């Protein structure tokens, strides 16, 4: 019974990270553009624009270059959890998985990822190349989650991202995804 419960928590943690990665990816694609704070431009905006212009370029970097932002953010969250004496292992598992979300994203751009990764992609536990490729098609408004094959079809089917954008536009926000300044064509 313990093993079944632990497996359920691991899957739940993976789906939580998948959703968080989707929200962050959606926000990044929708609102970030060059000309903001230099730290944001250097660590996030330029890499995101380059990735949308040349999706396969993500494979050219080294491990740290690919994962540094996720690792730093995850370490900060882990530090806050420790500071507030959070002892739930599930919270730390979410942090560890989140630290590797860009690595999973990179594998979704590989035609020949490691054998274990391929097996996990086949069963949907890690995002497949086929599913992620849909994110790089016009109008660039779908498949924002980067960890699994499970949430994207559900969120896209209920028009989750468009629904959030509809609400935010009515609150005065603008949606400018896929402009040339953001790497769109």
Residue 25 CA to residue 31 CA, distance in Å, equals: 10
Phi-psi region of 138 (alpha: psi -120 to 50; beta: other; left: phi over 0): beta
Asked if residue 182 has pLDDT above 70, the reply is: no
Mean pLDDT lowest among 55-64, 109-118, 141-150, 163-172: 55-64
Cis ω before 139 (30° cut-off from 0): yes
Asked if residue 174 has pLDDT above 90, the reply is: no
Residue 124 CA to residue 185 CA, distance in Å, equals: 29
Say if CB 54 and CB 136 are below 8 A apart. Answer: no
pLDDT digits (tens, 9 = 90+) for 52-104: 777 787 888 899 989 999 999 999 999 999 999 999 999 999 999 999 999 99
pLDDT score, position 1: 84
Mean pLDDT lowest among 1-10, 94-103, 146-155: 1-10
pLDDT band at 179 (very low <50, low <70, confident <90, very high): low
pLDDT digits (tens, 9 = 90+) for 95-131: 999 999 999 999 999 999 999 999 999 999 999 999 9
Cis ω before 157 (30° cut-off from 0): no
Residue 103 CA to residue 167 CA, distance in Å, equals: 32
Share of the chain above pLDDT 90, in %: 66
Say if CB 114 and CB 91 are below 8 A apart. Answer: no
pLDDT score, position 33: 75
> Token digits for 59?
């494979």
pLDDT band at 148 (very low <50, low <70, confident <90, very high): very high
């Amino acid at each position: 019974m313990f093993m079944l419960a632990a497996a359920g928590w691991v899957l739940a943690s993976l789906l939580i990270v998948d959703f968080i990665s989707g929200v962050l990816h959606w926000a990044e694609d929708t609102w970030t553009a060059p000309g903001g704070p230099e730290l944001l431009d250097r660590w996030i905006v330029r890499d995101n624009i380059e990735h949308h212009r040349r999706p396969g370029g993500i494979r050219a970097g080294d491990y740290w270059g690919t994962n540094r932002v996720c690792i730093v953010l995850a370490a900060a969250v882990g530090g806050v959890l420790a500071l507030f004496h959070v002892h739930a292992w599930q919270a730390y598992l979410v942090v560890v998985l989140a630290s590797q979300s860009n690595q999973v994203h990179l594998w979704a751009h590989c035609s020949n990822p490691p054998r274990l990764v391929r097996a996990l992609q086949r069963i949907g536990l890690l995002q497949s190349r086929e599913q992620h490729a849909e994110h790089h098609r016009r109008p660039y408004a779908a498949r924002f989650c980067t960890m699994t094959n499970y949430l994207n079809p559900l969120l896209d089917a209920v028009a989750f991202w468009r629904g959030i954008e509809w609400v935010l536009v009515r609150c005065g926000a603008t949606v400018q995804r896929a402009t040339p300044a953001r790497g769109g064509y």
